[in-house]
Structure 1
Amino acid sequence: MIRKRIALVTSAATALAGGLVGVILTAGPAAAATVSQPLQTMVANLPVATEVRTGYDRDLFNHWIDADGDGCNTRYEVLIAEATTAPAVGSGCALSGGAWLSYYDGATWTDPSDLDIDHMVPLAESWDSGSRNWTSAQREAYANDLGDARALVAVTDNVNQSKSDQDPAEWVPSLAGVRCRYVTEWTAVKTRWGLTVDTAEKSALTTYAAACTNSTVTVEIVIGNGTTTSPTVSPSPTVTPTGGTCTGSNGTDVTVPDAGAAVTSSVTIAGCSRSAASATSTAYVNIVHPFRGDLSIWLYAPDGTYYVLTSASSADSAANVDTTYTANLSSETANGTWTLSVKDNYSGDSGYLNTWTLTV
């Protein structure tokens, strides 16, 4: 997807030309960040905010799309995936011979036209809860989210229509036995997309979750949830390892503001048995951000020398940094305070540094 963005900083090459010492490190493949928490904890961590409906229009969420170009749009992809009896797929993605169970009401259907594809968190509710601040590409991705089976669900059409855009304070499935599933899926989607909840919604989710088995819920994050994003700290609190280790880790969340100043997070390594850092030192970095290509990341050694972990690249539109960088830091002393610096180079979105670990 092509995004219109405005670059707001000079490149790493320009910085190097200014006389600072820099070494470009190599990176392994990046992957989306995940969160695993007990259900009741995940509910408790949903941030509360006032809902805002102003400006909502369903047409702002482009759906249903055929993302993989196989002739079946998102609606049909969900129907195929959720069928209890696999349908035959004909020309134009016409489905026949299948069967579907609508878990909201326990009804079974053999005609796809009897089913709606429900956005677990309705489009209007997502707008109220934060998607009004997204780009059109992000809203399209949300409306067609096939990356998490909980986001879209095939259900009886009139049941979906009765749900409309209501949250769990106003509507839950009529079958009491599936309400824990519903609350879990609602919470997972809100967490996945960094959406807020209002006071009544939070109260209802808390009450329902308290009556459910407190099972661990795992979610792959697309957009960082504001509840885990602390105010920008520069430098952030230092974590000092013990026991002579040559590894330091800092898990204090630091906001990476939209097109703002660089933020930093530090670790202090003390008592390392080596006086010099290793030639195969590694820096594991986890940053939640809608577009990792927006980010420039530097590692500063105790003497102030810096190493470029990655420079911003508008060609990289994937989400999140979950990457281990490797470099020869043998010219640096192992012990001392090491600092990670992160900057968002483009306007339109923000994120947060979740954790980073340095092994020297």
Structure 2
Amino acid sequence: MIRKRIALATAAATALAGALIAVVTTAGPASAATISQPLRTMVANLPVATEVRTGYDRDLFNHWIDADGDGCNTRYEVLITEATTTPSVGSGCALSGGRWLSYYDGATWTDPSDLDIDHMVPLAESWDSGSRNWTSAQREAYANDLGDARALVAVTDNVNQSKGDQDPAEWVPSLASVRCRYITEWTAVKTRWALTVDTAEKSALTTYAAACTNSTVTVVTAIGSGTTTSPTATGGSCTGTNATDVTIPDAGSAVTSTITISGCAKTTPSTTSTVYVEVVHPFRGDVSIYLYAPDNTYYILKSASSTDSSADITATYTVNLSSETTNGAWRLSVRDNYSGDTGYLNTWTLAL
């Protein structure tokens, strides 16, 4: 797609020229982070949002690809990696002599055609819970994720077909002894790719996790997640987090997300208050971010930039809010200033 650079930001800045603007320090580009949390904590930190199936097409996820050019595509890479008896690899990546265990049902197979490669979180489910806002490259990376062994798994073909696009509120392996593994891997993949869960899914994951050993789960994020480095409040209840996804329309009006601070013992915020922000967007340069205090004074956290074509925003902004009143409704305003792509505000945390 040829992106149309429409300078909507200029008009917005002119309209707000008379308002009070604070100087902030912004963080650098979003990058992978390592999250290590007990299983139940990781489940609890999964953000809840309504699922949206509109526009889904499996062809939007390019798979299977041969990323390293060795003649074996992603499907065969998984089969080779997960074989309990290593197969011989022939011309065209034909596999022979291997043996595989399908952990969902405990079945053993020697013919690769009896196995499907299951996306732990199905493609359609990922669309419902966030990947609809990704770029084509991000969806391709998700569909061929060899960077985390939990993302793709070789299982009995008809078992995979019975699972379909269902989440753990609707389907878990029939083999009870592997359900904790399944729930852990599902949670890890959702965390790795900053995907949301719906209410029923969150409830099911919470129930299953309560019956499992609360082992530490480690994930390297592929897309920013709002549960990694949220700032810690320095006193009382002077912090808040909003992890409800808010869609940022393409070249549209600003969208807002509110955190209400109440009961904070401090009358005024710190001179080094922090705002942690997670935005999923294919071109973070498109996005501007403003913080509005309870009295509607605004602070520019991030301006749009036509030269920044990197994806996603994972940043902590430091702001002098000492002239404000701590308790009240604080609003984060996010806008896509150029046409061509949409995104969403994933999580933001305010520490006063």
Note whether the superposition's TM-score is higher than 0.5.
yes
User: What does residue 167 of structure 1 align with?
Assistant: 167
Q: Which amino acid aligns with 1:287?
A: E
Is 1:152 matched with 2:148?
A: no
From 242, 248, 259, give the equivalent of 1:258: 248
User: What does residue 10 of structure 1 align with?
Assistant: 9
Structure 2 matches for 1:184-199, cutoff 5 A?
184-191=184-191, 192-197=193-198, 199=200
- In structure 2, the CA distance between the partners of 1:66 and 1:357, relative to structure 1 (3 Å rule), is farther
User: What does residue 246 of structure 1 align with?
Assistant: none
- The alpha-carbon deviation at position 118 of structure 1 amounts to 0.3
Q: Which amino acid aligns with 2:9?
A: T
- The alpha-carbon deviation at position 179 of structure 1 amounts to 0.7
1:324 & 1:72 partners in 2: Cα distance? Answer: 44
For residues 112-171 of structure 1, give each alpha carbon's deviation from its aligned partner in whole angstroms, at most 9, with x where no partner exists: 333211011223334455555655555434322334332211112232223233333443
Whether the 8 Å CA contact 2:82–2:154 is kept in 1: the answer is yes
Q: Which amino acid aligns with 2:180?
A: C
- The alpha-carbon deviation at position 309 of structure 1 amounts to 5.8
Number of residue-to-residue matches in the alignment? 325
Whether the 8 Å CA contact 2:133–2:280 is kept in 1: the answer is no
1:120 & 1:59 partners in 2: Cα distance? Answer: 18
- The alpha-carbon deviation at position 184 of structure 1 amounts to 1.8
For residues 206-263 of structure 1, give each alpha carbon's deviation from its aligned partner in whole angstroms, at most 9, with x where no partner exists: 43222211234444263768xx9xxxxxxxxxx9846xxxxxx955337765154376
Q: Which amino acid aligns with 1:258?
A: I
Q: Which amino acid aligns with 1:261?
A: A
User: What does residue 222 of structure 1 align with?
Assistant: 223
Structure 2 matches for 1:209-288, cutoff 5 A?
209-219=209-219, 220=221, 222=223, 241=234, 251-253=240-242, 258-259=248-249, 260-261=253-254, 285-288=276-279
- In structure 2, the CA distance between the partners of 1:323 and 1:221, relative to structure 1 (3 Å rule), is farther
**1:116 match: secondary structure:** strand
User: What does residue 289 of structure 1 align with?
Assistant: 280
**1:153 match: secondary structure:** strand
Whether the 8 Å CA contact 1:46–1:196 is kept in 2: the answer is yes
* Greater mean deviation of Cα atoms: 178-187 or 349-358: 349-358
User: What does residue 314 of structure 2 align with?
Assistant: 321
User: What does residue 181 of structure 2 align with?
Assistant: 181
- In structure 2, the CA distance between the partners of 1:265 and 1:178, relative to structure 1 (3 Å rule), is closer
- In structure 2, the CA distance between the partners of 1:318 and 1:52, relative to structure 1 (3 Å rule), is closer
Q: Which amino acid aligns with 1:318?
A: A
**1:124 match: secondary structure:** helix
- The alpha-carbon deviation at position 178 of structure 1 amounts to 0.7
Q: Which amino acid aligns with 2:342?
A: G
2:2 & 2:89 partners in 1: Cα distance? Answer: 34
- In structure 2, the CA distance between the partners of 1:48 and 1:322, relative to structure 1 (3 Å rule), is closer
Query: Percent identity, aligned pairs only?
Result: 61
Whether the 8 Å CA contact 1:240–1:270 is kept in 2: the answer is no
- In structure 2, the CA distance between the partners of 1:257 and 1:93, relative to structure 1 (3 Å rule), is same
Whether the 8 Å CA contact 2:224–2:314 is kept in 1: the answer is no
User: What does residue 350 of structure 1 align with?
Assistant: 344
- In structure 2, the CA distance between the partners of 1:42 and 1:262, relative to structure 1 (3 Å rule), is same
**What's the Cα RMSD here?**
5.0
For residues 162-216 of structure 1, give each alpha carbon's deviation from its aligned partner in whole angstroms, at most 9, with x where no partner exists: 32333334432232211111122223334434233363x4454343222211234
**2:198 match: secondary structure:** coil
Q: Which amino acid aligns with 1:252?
A: T
Question: Structure 1 length as normaliser, TM-score?
Answer: 0.64
- In structure 2, the CA distance between the partners of 1:141 and 1:6, relative to structure 1 (3 Å rule), is farther
2:203 & 2:275 partners in 1: Cα distance? Answer: 37
Is 1:115 matched with 2:115?
A: yes
User: What does residue 64 of structure 1 align with?
Assistant: 64
Q: Which amino acid aligns with 1:30?
A: A
- The alpha-carbon deviation at position 47 of structure 1 amounts to 2.3
